[in-house]
Structure 1
Amino acid sequence: MHRQHLFFTLAIGLVCFVGQVALAADAAPKVTGFQPAANDWPWWRGPNNNGIAAADQDPPVTWSETENVVWKTPIAGRGHSSATVVGDQVFVTTAEEDRELLAVICLERKTGAVRWRTDVHTGGMDKKGNKKTSQASSTVACDGERLYVNFLNHGSVVTTALDRQGKQVWQTKVADFATHQGFGSSPALFGSLVYVTADSKTGGAVAALSREKGEIVWQQLRPEKANYASPIVLRVAGKEQLLVSGCDLASGFHPVTGSKFWEIEGATTECVTTMVTDGERVFVSGGYPRKHVQAIVADGTGKTAWQNNVQVYVPSMIAHDGYLYATQDGGVASCWKSDTGEEMWKERLGGTFSGSLTLVGDKLYTTNESGTTFVFKANPKQFEKLAENMLTGEAFATPTICGSQIFLRVAEFKDGKRQEMVYCIGKK
């Protein structure tokens, strides 16, 4: 059955390939029918899929509970998804475990007022996993017309499309899923497709779904191993590649057909970070059972350019101007030369980190699990801290930076009760 299934999906992928315009050699990753505005952050890792905001943005460097807060809005339930911002809307996911509700919430970008809420799943919530995990850790992707979101429900990874008013358009089961630490893979968009990974100890898949109707266009089966990384489409070695790490593999797929450009034994079993690139190499990192950062030449040769034993397990890295910046889970910031791996500097920030780095201009932003955001220069010569900003509480999401504003998700604790908040930080 597996062999027949693979032949079937390959045939569909080839038909899809014939029916689409070939990927131009000099084209940047694009989503059919959608061009993100300069002030948008439409999906996980931002408009260019690399965690880098538009260079002309000018968000605050300093803030507090009262300084430079444009608005803050309480959110029911718990979630670690980052804010997705398109036009005048802000989208986050949440899980109410006591009511077994998995939902998408839309906020008014200007005021933070709740515009609508859609309960995507009722019942069937999987409450197992690491104590840090949430059942709403997947960040929404938006193509300007629809939203795409992943949830784990009734033992399966399910992708749902909503319109901009919160009405369900389609819903597709991608794969069965056996919970180990949890599930948090975010969807990626390219061309006319949405990509989903579902890796678990009972097997899984990398799947490409039609954005229009939700049917599975192609899929590649995965090893029976736990893993948490999100797929990403980046331009590497002169072509767009769908990149996936973990399950003791690092892989580059043709984003339209699903055929493998290359695959090597690399990374480690359990990865959370999303791959980044300097254009020639891709960078993977993991935390179990091996702690490492690895640079792979992504031209099909399967060559490892360099690697080290630094633990960058959860926070995704930034590749910028020939250097690789990372925040280790244990609270140390590092900078390496991207072609050789030479360590330029490392500096202890403090705290434990789950949120990823975000770059705007020459400034890097990263938030630890206690709600403190560190701002430092993307300077390979030395570590240069610019600010340390505290919003007392608990934070696992990555800062979203667009329109010269920062959208942060922080949980406050008052009278023994946990209350999630979405903050809009901006100059006033």
Structure 2
Amino acid sequence: MITRFSLLVLLSSTFAATAADWARFRGPNGSGIAPDDKPVPVEWSATKNLKWKTALPGPGSSSPIVVGDRIFVTCWSGYATDGPQSAGDITALKRHLVCVDRTTGKILWDKSVPAKQPEEPYGGMFAQNGYASHTPVSDGKSVFAFFGKSGVHAFDLEGKPLWQADVGDWDDRRNWGSASSPILHGDILIVPALVESQTLYGFDKNTGKQLWKAPSEGFAGTWGTPVLAGADLAIAVPGEVWGFNPDTGKLRWYATGLQSDSVCNSVVTDGSAVYAMSERGGGSVAIKAGGKGDVSATNTLWTGPNGSRIATPILWEDRLYWISGSIATCRDAKTGAEIYSERIEGGTAAPSSGGGQGFGGGRRGGGGGGDYASPVVANGHLYHMGRRGEVLVVKLGPKFELISRNTIEGDTSDRSATPAISNGQLFLRSAKTLYCIGE
């Protein structure tokens, strides 16, 4: 019999777990900031503050998400799991959604989906990305995985399939692969199939019914994940920043944005302004969200020099932070003015290489793009994952202060996944291994 007291305890416990969830790419609204103030270790190794590690069924660069006492992450198997030399038969390719027990690291279930064929072959710049780059998203009741050409798949938390939807099967014109992650807006699952069909989709999360679609050739060259900026759904595309109505998929406003033919990272927002940045002469821009039509003249807050190309920056207390290669940068979010730019000796980025060695085949070159994972924040500390496996911990503030450099010895595989943070624990993902860091 459930008493009134025990019911209240149950409800409060459920709320606490939900409040601390890291349920999508870069956590709450894509901010990269931990949803609670519990202390996270700033030092760890293979023998210190490592609670558990779990071998995954295959490689990937998607981020883990945290839902209560479970971790969800995607990977692939059956083809090219140890680099081009192990390619094999592409028709054996499968994508996986894996559920891991948060306390023990034990795999609770593993659901695989055969890849829709023909799939892009593994090699060249595609090998810098692979077949599992989209981070899943959850509402605490279901989990939604985007598998590129193989579509969108919804499961309950026990792994029961709920529904599936196709969103296109185009190849990326540059052979870079696909990476944008789905997000939730109320009962709407928003899927950025920007490579697969150059389209944003809105689905009923409960039934899989398509509610709206927003196709545009302007999405070509975009790999970012959208965020909710006030009442708008914001995303940067080559040349512009766009604001959609997330309920209908209709474009509300647009503004001149990054002067680049590719946008590899995501915008960040404080709820009223949207910040976008790029390298290769693309520059950076801050746009006030809202309005109608072309708001370039009225809503552009500032434009600035180049910023981060692949990693999405952190917006923290009116400052923008990122680490690109061996340079740590901080700018004033209100003005775009540089606060500091510091070189880190022995930076974290992998050396440039055009082909790469694959996710399981040792350290992989950066293809000129540097680190792939985006920084995250807990307790005023920034955690930056380099592709070689070193995590820099930097104290946030107007002066650069490097607190620690951390590696887990024995794992030399690629590190392209953005970490997750929840309840004082840091979840790291290398190509084939999931780690839980905690005191």
With normalisation by structure 2, the TM-score equals 0.81
Alpha-carbon offset, residue 55 of structure 1: 4.1
Mapped partners of 2:244, 2:264: distance in 1: 19
Greater Cα offset, 245-254 or 162-171: 245-254
Greater Cα offset, 79-88 or 262-271: 262-271
Residue in structure 2 matched with residue 211 of structure 1 by the alignment: 205
397, 403, 406: which one aligns with 2:423: 403
Alpha-carbon offset, residue 261 of structure 1: 2.3
Aligned-residue RMSD, C-alpha:
2.1
Alpha-carbon offset, residue 123 of structure 1: 5.5
Residue in structure 1 matched with residue 348 of structure 2 by the alignment: 351
The answer to whether the Cα contact below 8 Å between 2:229 and 2:274 also exists between their aligned partners in 1 is no
What is the identity percentage for the equivalent residue pairs of Structure 1 and Structure 2? Answer: 31
Residue in structure 1 matched with residue 400 of structure 2 by the alignment: 383
Alpha-carbon offset, residue 363 of structure 1: 0.8
Alpha-carbon offset, residue 160 of structure 1: 1.1
For residues 140-165 of structure 1, the C-alpha deviation after alignment (integer angstroms, 9 at most, x for no partner) is: 101111111111236xxx11111111
The answer to whether the Cα contact below 8 Å between 1:70 and 1:426 also exists between their aligned partners in 2 is yes
Residue in structure 2 matched with residue 422 of structure 1 by the alignment: 434
Residue in structure 2 matched with residue 325 of structure 1 by the alignment: 321
User: What aligned pairs does 1:252-401 form with structure 2 within 5 A after superposition?
Assistant: 252-267=243-258, 268-287=260-279, 290-300=281-291, 301-302=295-296, 303-328=299-324, 330-349=325-344, 350-352=347-349, 353-380=371-398, 382-391=399-408, 392-393=411-412, 394-401=414-421
The answer to whether the Cα contact below 8 Å between 1:249 and 1:265 also exists between their aligned partners in 2 is yes
The answer to whether the Cα contact below 8 Å between 2:36 and 2:422 also exists between their aligned partners in 1 is no
Mapped partners of 2:233, 2:171: distance in 1: 24
The answer to whether the Cα contact below 8 Å between 2:283 and 2:305 also exists between their aligned partners in 1 is yes
Mapped partners of 2:158, 2:197: distance in 1: 35
Residue in structure 2 matched with residue 246 of structure 1 by the alignment: 237
Equivalent AA in structure 2 for residue 386 of structure 1: I
Alpha-carbon offset, residue 310 of structure 1: 2.0
Residue in structure 1 matched with residue 6 of structure 2 by the alignment: none
Give the strand-richer structure, 1 or 2: 1
37, 44, 56: which one aligns with 2:25: 44
Residue in structure 2 matched with residue 87 of structure 1 by the alignment: 68
Alpha-carbon offset, residue 174 of structure 1: 1.6
Alpha-carbon offset, residue 35 of structure 1: 9.1
Mapped partners of 1:318, 1:173: distance in 2: 33
Mapped partners of 2:282, 2:328: distance in 1: 16
Greater Cα offset, 254-263 or 99-108: 254-263
Equivalent AA in structure 2 for residue 61 of structure 1: V
Mapped partners of 1:379, 1:97: distance in 2: 46
For residues 328-372 of structure 1, the C-alpha deviation after alignment (integer angstroms, 9 at most, x for no partner) is: 2x2322110011111000122312211111111211111000110
Alpha-carbon offset, residue 396 of structure 1: 0.5
1:227 paired to 2:185: no
Equivalent AA in structure 2 for residue 42 of structure 1: A
| Secondary structure, aligned partner of 2:19 | coil
Residue in structure 1 matched with residue 140 of structure 2 by the alignment: 144
The answer to whether the Cα contact below 8 Å between 2:383 and 2:393 also exists between their aligned partners in 1 is yes
Alpha-carbon offset, residue 60 of structure 1: 0.5
Alpha-carbon offset, residue 311 of structure 1: 4.1
Mapped partners of 2:331, 2:275: distance in 1: 11
Alpha-carbon offset, residue 51 of structure 1: 1.0
Greater Cα offset, 189-198 or 219-228: 219-228
| Secondary structure, aligned partner of 1:153 | helix
Alpha-carbon offset, residue 121 of structure 1: 2.6
1:219 to 1:295, Cα distance in 2 relative to 1, 3 A: same
Residue in structure 1 matched with residue 193 of structure 2 by the alignment: 198
Question: How many residue pairs end up in the alignment?
Answer: 376
1:221 to 1:151, Cα distance in 2 relative to 1, 3 A: same
Mapped partners of 1:92, 1:42: distance in 2: 11
Equivalent AA in structure 2 for residue 86 of structure 1: V
Alpha-carbon offset, residue 178 of structure 1: 2.0
1:165 paired to 2:158: yes
Mapped partners of 1:220, 1:290: distance in 2: 28
Alpha-carbon offset, residue 118 of structure 1: 0.2
Mapped partners of 1:196, 1:35: distance in 2: 28
| Secondary structure, aligned partner of 1:37 | helix
The answer to whether the Cα contact below 8 Å between 2:255 and 2:287 also exists between their aligned partners in 1 is no
Residue in structure 2 matched with residue 121 of structure 1 by the alignment: 114
The answer to whether the Cα contact below 8 Å between 1:83 and 1:91 also exists between their aligned partners in 2 is yes
Mapped partners of 1:35, 1:108: distance in 2: 18
Give the helix-richer structure, 1 or 2: 2
Mapped partners of 2:438, 2:277: distance in 1: 32
Mapped partners of 1:72, 1:347: distance in 2: 33
The answer for unaligned runs of 5 or more in structure 1 is 1-33, 412-419
Poorly superposed stretches of 4+, deviation over 4 Å: none
Equivalent AA in structure 1 for residue 315 of structure 2: A
